[in-house]
Chains A and B, each alone.
Chain A
Amino acid sequence: MYIKKNGYVAGAVLSINLVRQMRRQLEFEKFAARCMVDNDITQEFKSKTENHPDQIYNFRYNHPKAIELTAEGKNANTTKST
């Protein structure tokens, strides 16, 4: 599949769909984790999504509902720890 033609490798183009599906699933998992747990790891998830070239997943983190849920998760963690 490593055929280079017109400046690109055909195999890379053919695997775009698969990788994008993986990214979509991954962002789903990241967002779910972010809504449930507010810690350093999920904050890093958010910052990585913000810096990712494909910004289609970014606005979820800015959705009011998502912010509310994250705040609830944070409060729940604080209550639990105290």
Chain B
Amino acid sequence: MADNIEINDLIGKQLPPEILEQLKVLGRVEFKLKNTITSAVSNPSDREQDQVLEEDSGADTEREVDRLLNEVGILEGLVEDLENNIDFLTKDMAIPPATDTISNAAKALGSEDGYITQNVMNNALAIMDYLPLLTMGQDPELAALIGDGSVDGEWLECSQITRSIGALFKEKENQPKDKLQSENTKVAEDFEQKQNNMQIEILNMLFWNMLWPTFIVDLVILGPMRAVVNPIDAMILFFKRFPFRRPKKEQIKKNGPLNKLLNALRNILMCLPLTAKLYPRYKPPADVVCRAKGTCPEKPGAGTDTKEDDFKNPKKDKGLLGDLFPDDDVPCVSEEDIVNGYSPKLPQGLGVSPDCIKSAKVVLDAVLEDALTPPSGEESKLSQNLRDQVEGVSL
């Protein structure tokens, strides 16, 4: 048999149909043997056939792509059928809450009476989908597909996260990016910038406070000269004993009025527009301290009837410096806030609240537990059978 096969006969020819049938595996594409370089030269008659094949390759590719897309479409039909069946078989769901925790969780997800309905279950599933999807503001599948998984959006309440969450994103995506920034985000960004400036300022103050005492000669001889050449440096030297630090209670009690007076003087000097021009390094604290000086109402909780809205929109009582600065939309930051550590309302970002996630998990656990527990009648039969078996063994 092997003696009858000539290799040269196979070059540039198709395999016999019976052999091709054996080579076909699960409908894979049938590859024909193409000409080698030498055979193509030796068989010039086959060139015309190759040209025809090349011309048809574009159409073949399109047909192949369409075939693959149609397969995806068929799969979608299958998945749709399954989803419709699930919706049909769960549309009358009404699982009574076994505990108060489950009842409260179901109510948080839209149930009126604490019963777990299909809608409540779907909301819980949407929340659990939403959580990993927007972890760190990234959509992992989007990132895998197009290399950029960033998703801009705002914090959503628990009741907002339903199966129609994508529609919310659609609206957000179509808006200009500026509008996507919430007020909290602007406040936080503003504060972050000022905080950076503040750190630079503190470093500068530390630098000068350390430098001057080291060079006593400078202090004695060059100090007055410097006061003439650069009055701001002289002022800093004068007030170097009052840096940005929180005084102890004893110090406040002892030197309270003096501290207040000196701090007020320092602030006035720092906040003069001329100071910022002459000495740009000291402009940032002027921004932070001066503009909000004396404008902050008491924080919620600390005062009596102060509302949160009042805190966002400070009163226009600007004290001594009221006429120097225009009314700007700056966060209300007092010196005390800076010293104690300002904690603005940072943007809560993408994600859901822990309570919301907890409610969703409680609901889904309850549904699963209910689904895995046989009905009460079946349970009794099962236990009856077990009891019979035990009795039979003992007998």
On whether A19 and B82 interact (CB within 8 A), knowing A56-B166, A59-B166, A63-B142, the answer reads: yes
Contact between chains at B371 and A58 (CB < 8 Å): no
Interface magnitude class on chain B: 35 or more
Contact B169 A26 (CB under 8 A): no
Q: Does any Cβ of A come within 8 Å of B339's Cβ?
A: no
Bitwise, B195-233 to A at CB < 8 A (1) or not (0) is 000000000000000000000000000000000000000
- Chain A residue numbers with a CB within 8 Å of B76 are 26, 30, 45, 48
Residues of chain B within 8 A (CB-CB) of A22 are 79, 82
Q: Quick check: which of B40-48, B143-151, B342-350 contacts chain A, the rest being far away?
A: B143-151
* Interface assignment of A79: CB less than 8 Å from any CB of chain B: no
Interface size on A, residues (CB 8 A): 48
> Which B residues are CB-close (under 8 A) to A29?
72, 75
**Given A9-B89, A12-B90, A58:B167 Cβ within 8 A:** yes
Question: A10, A26, A58, A64: which contacts B72 (Cβ < 8 A)?
Answer: A26
B148–A58 CB distance below 8 A: no
B261 at the interface (CB under 8 A from A): no
Question: Chain A: which residue is nearest B144 at the CB level?
Answer: A28
Q: How far is the CB of A29 from chain B (nearest CB, A)?
A: 5
- Please, what's the 1-or-0 string for A43-58, where 1 marks a CB less than 8 Å from any CB in chain B? 0110010000111111
Give CA–CA (A14, B369) in the complex, Å: 10
Contact B167 A55, beta carbon cutoff 8 Å:
yes
Asked whether A41 lies within 8 Å of B166 as measured between CB atoms, the reply is: no
Contact A3 B69 (CB under 8 A): no
Restricting to B114-163, which residues have a CB under 8 Å from any CB of A?
A: 118, 121, 125-126, 129-130, 133, 139, 141-142, 145-148, 151, 163
Tally of contacts, chain A with chain B, CB under 8 A = 136
Once the chains are docked, how many angstroms separate the CA of A58 from the CA of B173? 11
Residues of A within 8 A of B118 (CB): 8
The reply to whether B133 and A35 contact each other, CB–CB distance below 8 Å, is no
Q: Which of A14, A20, A45 has the most CB of B within 10 A?
A: A20
What mask results when residues 19 to 39 of chain A are scored 1 for a CB within 8 Å of chain B, else 0? 110111010111111010101
Most chain-A Cβ atoms within 10 A of its Cβ — which of B85, B125, B130, B146? B146
Q: Measured between C-beta atoms, what is the minimum distance from A15 to chain B in Å?
A: 7
Residues of B within 8 A of A33 (CB): 68-69, 72
A60 near B79 with CB under 8 A, answer no
Q: What 4 A-B pairs have minimum CB-CB distances, sorted nearest first?
A: A55-B166, A58-B166, A59-B169, A7-B92
| Besides A16-B86, A45-B76, A63-B173, 14 new A-B residue pairs in contact (Cβ under 8 A), listed by A number | A7-B93, A8-B95, A8-B118, A10-B372, A12-B90, A13-B90, A13-B368, A29-B72, A44-B73, A56-B133, A57-B166, A58-B169, A62-B169, A64-B173
